[in-house]
Structure 1
Amino acid sequence: MKKTILLLAFFSFISAPLSAKVIWFADPDQSTKVTNFFKRLDDGNYPQDYCKVKGDHEDVEASTVEVLSDEELGKVWKINKPNNRKRGEFARVEGQLDSFSPKEGDDIYLAWQWKIDTVDKAKIDKEVTVFQWKSASPHNQNYPLNLEYDGELTLNAWGPNYVENKGYHNRRTVLWRKAVPQNEWVSIVIRIKVNKEDFGGLVQFWFNGEQQILENLESKEYQVKVSDDKKTVFHRTNDGRFVYPKWGVYNKRSCQYDVNAYFHNMKLGTSLATVMPKL
């Protein structure tokens, strides 16, 4: 009996690391080609990506991406979204070297180190979107989750609208908020259990290595369900034809900024330990 218990403990020990792994890693030391790790760069050239009136995006420099050397972290990705451009985003973790397509039932951890600044040192005081957990249309949630920045970083959940399939701005609830200076590296980890049922999905959040308290801080027509310890929220995290992550700078409020977003150690894994950045 004792031998059986020891054998079970041994196999449990050796199998645990095998089940927890990094599924996707956008490593600029391996390649600086965007499509090796992402489906594409959305550079703001879509017809609907005008800032004020249709057509005003024409003759405006498109958003760009490059890899540069950071004094603290080494090689990092840099997206620049110019003034009068609405969007500059990495879209979907479906590259030629590393690829992953989230599906119903997946339990994943998205991690990255991030900072933001403006080329002319202007203060960002209007909320710009810097991360989206996006759903492919037709959908009832344009983005079930996102992060927005206006000097403060907010994690937001967006509830579904099954009736009108619009009015998303009223379905936002702010889960977390923190002041973050421009040009300061921070680390972010989001756990997402992908589920189409109302409140069937799960969300947890780590900032600079510490798990954060999540609450319905600001809401109108929708609120998530929150665990007793306030470290887990239950929310619909799968919508449309499929869901996928986007990183960068986006929305009409971003049009007024010539802004850079920097990314390092971008990973997707099956456990917190496999993706948590070393601070």
Structure 2
Amino acid sequence: MKKLSVFLFVFFINIFPSSAEIIWSADPNKSNKVTDFFKRLDDGNYPQDYCKVKGDEKGVAASTASIVTDPRYGKVWHINKPINRKRGEFARFEGKINHLSPKEGDDLYIAWNWKIDTADGTKIDKEITVFQWKSASPHNQNYPINMEYDGDLTLNVFGADYSKKVGQFKRRAILWRKAIPQGEWVSLIVRVKVNKDDFGGVVQFWFNGELQQLDNLKTKLYQAKISDDKKSVFHRTNDGRFVYPKWGAYNKKSCQYNVNIYYHDMKVGTTLESVMPIQNH
């Protein structure tokens, strides 16, 4: 009888994988508080986040986060970053309800559905940062991975600057690029195997449920190592005191836009299957 019980336990575990494969999520149906899922909202309302002159811009509201109802997905997260505000970003997985602190050796599948537009219909044609895999200072990369949008969405990696003499964008390698219209939902999954060796980490990327081919499409002084099938990138993915994600809109070019960003089904899993978007199963 004991052997039968063990057999049935193993059988059900294999047939019905544990939800523990999802190790973090941010479901707006469970709470409307940013800090229940994220460390904070970085709203750009502090002196170093200036667009024109140091200090806050007079009369410019800080960026905001809220929950809105989307016709496709229902309740979704919404970030608004006004004109002349440099930043509006969710920062870190470290919420009061769901908490995750990435560490060396972790193998994470970070997934979210994403849509971007502008409040006044302006076309975004200057490259703004919409995702960062950020490192806490002191660091040698600042952000080992990021995503930028200017009508095209790009996935980028940045090499380390151990000498502190090489500019950030000279160390940037664009791995992937695709045109995405404003107002269109897309599904994104970034696999990050966290490792501090120069080419010890792994990066993979799924767009709308399909594994993408990656390459050093544009680069100056840094090239990531690419697998023969171009489905994996070997790159330093752990930097500084620790690493963490940021989602939103950021950088000086973003100052000219009133940007809206929407998020649905934000989650992190230990397997690809656990985070794959439902419509693509």
Q: Which TM-score bucket, shorter chain as reference?
A: over 0.9
Q: TM-score, normalised by structure 2?
A: 0.93
- CA distance in 2 between counterparts of 1:200 and 1:66 reads 38
1:115·1:184 contact (CA, 8 Å) conserved in 2? yes
- CA distance in 1 between counterparts of 2:145 and 2:12 reads 35
2:45·2:56 contact (CA, 8 Å) conserved in 1? no
1:20·1:274 contact (CA, 8 Å) conserved in 2? no
Task: Find out whether 1:185 has 2:185 as its counterpart.
Answer: yes
**Which consecutive residues of structure 2, in runs of 5 or more, have no partner in the other structure?**
none
CA RMSD of aligned residues (A): 1.9
Query: What residue number does 1:269 align with?
Result: 269
Percentage of identical aligned residues: 68
- CA distance in 1 between counterparts of 2:273 and 2:156 reads 24
1:224·1:234 contact (CA, 8 Å) conserved in 2? yes
Cα drift, residue 67 of structure 1: 0.2
Q: Write the letter of the residue equivalent to 2:97.
A: L
2:46·2:55 contact (CA, 8 Å) conserved in 1? no
* CA-to-aligned-CA distance 1:43-71 (integer Å, 9 cap, x gap): 00121100122125343100001101100
Query: What residue number does 2:13 align with?
Result: 14
Query: What residue number does 2:171 align with?
Result: 171
2:83·2:258 contact (CA, 8 Å) conserved in 1? yes
Change (3 A) 1:48 1:34: same
SS in structure 2 at match of 1:244: strand
**Which consecutive residues of structure 1, in runs of 5 or more, have no partner in the other structure?**
none
Q: Write the letter of the residue equivalent to 1:229.
A: D
Query: What residue number does 2:130 align with?
Result: 130
**Larger deviation: 163-172 or 82-91?**
163-172
Query: What residue number does 1:210 align with?
Result: 210
* CA-to-aligned-CA distance 1:2-50 (integer Å, 9 cap, x gap): xx9xx99984873683496100110000001000000000000121100
- CA distance in 2 between counterparts of 1:164 and 1:104 reads 23
1:140·1:166 contact (CA, 8 Å) conserved in 2? no
Q: TM-score, normalised by structure 1?
A: 0.94
Query: What residue number does 2:153 align with?
Result: 153
- CA distance in 2 between counterparts of 1:166 and 1:221 reads 9
SS in structure 2 at match of 1:266: strand
Cα drift, residue 276 of structure 1: 1.3
User: How many residues in Structure 1 have an aligned counterpart in Structure 2?
Assistant: 274
In the TM superposition, what are the counterparts of 1:196-235 in structure 2 within 5 Å?
196-235=196-235
Q: Write the letter of the residue equivalent to 2:171.
A: R
Q: Write the letter of the residue equivalent to 1:52.
A: K
SS in structure 1 at match of 2:137: coil
Change (3 A) 1:35 1:166: farther
- CA distance in 1 between counterparts of 2:277 and 2:28 reads 16
Cα drift, residue 166 of structure 1: 5.0
**Larger deviation: 16-25 or 227-236?**
16-25
**Larger deviation: 169-178 or 51-60?**
51-60
